[in-house]
A and B are shown apart, each in its own frame.
Chain A
Amino acid sequence: MSQQSVALPPQPMPPMRWKRFLSLDNRYIAPMFITCILVAGHLTFGFLESYKKTGIAIAASLLTELILGRWFNGKFPNIASAYISGISVGILVRSPAFWPYAICAIVSIMSKYVLQIKGRHLWNPSNFGISVLLFLAPETVAGLSIQWGNYLLPMLVIWILGSVIIARLHRFNITGTYVASFIAFAFLRSYISGSPWQSEIAPLTGPMYQLFIFFMITDPKTTVRSRKWQCVVVAMVALVEMILRLSHVVYAPFYALFLVGPAALLIEMWLDSRRAIPAHATA
């Protein structure tokens, strides 16, 4: 079918300028949301290790993205994703030293450009950087492991706002499936280990998980395309996390995503290539 034979739909009226001004580009919703979390968390509870450390993480992330993006693609890239990576590193990494923030941010962004297969990067950048750092630098680095102050309200606001935003981005199926799986596995862990179920649910109530479920596991570039398989993959992440947790691995969610995410993408690429062969054969 040629394009000319298709009847053109009626052209919509161009939106008024003020409406265009208020309508947010989806690319900027997540960065704005994570900025809100950062600012609200810090102003209310002194959330950050220090301004300098978070600043270093964001700056290193943006700079690496600009340099490599320009280098690889010949133009400066959109920095929204690098901003999220930088801010995630700034919040999730806890270290008295400065260097982990810079190295984690740079490694995160570089992983997008270096660890590619068929032009597609395999790991969520900040998941890669943070996992590497937690694994290789345990003497100096820990992950965020505290909660949002003493109040339920901030947590509810973030959960509701986050859910609305993720739904607008058509990725709530991922977040919802993960949370449901985590809770189910938490009860299973409680049954197996004998720990109170509240203690197994507890991590989900912390800010580390808020960042994990809204920003890391939903990353469009490192999740499979099919909505159904997105749910399957994220349930697998929760399952691997449960296995790691039963082995007392403190940073189980990061490592679970680190293991399952790329494996799912590789399988998807392999299936794509198998489908492409018959298509070529009949062309």
Chain B
Amino acid sequence: MRKIAIRSAIAACALAVAGAAVAESPDDGLQQQANAAMKGKTVAYVPIAMGFDLTEAWAAGMRLDAAALGYKLTIRDPNWSVDNGAQAISQLISEKPDVLVVHPPEIQAYTRLLQQAAAAGIPVITMNLKSEANGDIYIGADWYDIGVKQAEAMVKACGKDAGKNGQVAVMQGVLTNPTSQFGIQAVQDTFKKHPEMKIVSNQAADWDASKAHAITATVLKANPDLCGIIGFWDNMDVGTAAAVKEAGKTGQIALITSGGGNQASACDNVANGNFSTYISYDAKGQARDLMMAVRSVLQQKPANPGEKAIGLYTPLRTISKDTLYNGACWNLDDVKKYGP
């Protein structure tokens, strides 16, 4: 009786071992070595700040991968402070992560630091705000292209073919930011081909919805015939839209903005008429791009980090009431929960 018990226990053990062996996937010749290459490595992420749609979506992707693939993700949140960001990057250079993901707040701010990172042999991925230093991979929007698309949409809405006067106001964010540097140039270049288009007001609101609201309220009073407003970021332009609404001009004034395509700020505002056209750089898609870029760098580190950059420019999506299909936007809570 006892023997039988021992035997059956041994048999059960053997079965369990066999079962475990079956659950492990067979070697397809790549998968196991790919996973092994990523396991135990460290990915460091320095966004402008956590806590808003873009940076949270990107982080969600990497968190998912970190759990699934066994790499370590460190997030250093400088909370909109360029100094804190620079400190975090210097600190990380000495910690030598296997990949450094940086979201630069200004064109020049981190140039030196990213060169130092490259010199220390750390591969760098820069996110969405094209700066002087590209790192090894740039994932993000082509800001000039966004400006062109916004300006062209504006010509369509306010140009002479639409029978309008072409009076446009521009609401920039932070002037040292690439969105402004390339964006305003694109708008001006595009308008040159359409002499009827005229920028009657060109102001900056520091990405602050409240400031954008105040400036827009004044601009609308000063330019009663204003036909359209080009804004540079949806999260700021909710303030612009609120001022247009207060003036009772929602729908009459074309408000064309851009952003990461988050449902709450993008599609909801297109649906209710606050934004007439929205150029989305689909931060959920970028999050997926980032996941894959990190995977690829972890598996094969560039021979000489910083030597040659790869540009992964985000495909842009133009959202207006006519193109507001189900799934044009994404939901931050869902992305946080289920990944990009």
Task: Decide whether A and B assemble into one complex.
Answer: no
- B: residues with CB less than 8 A from A are none
- A: residues with CB less than 8 A from B are none
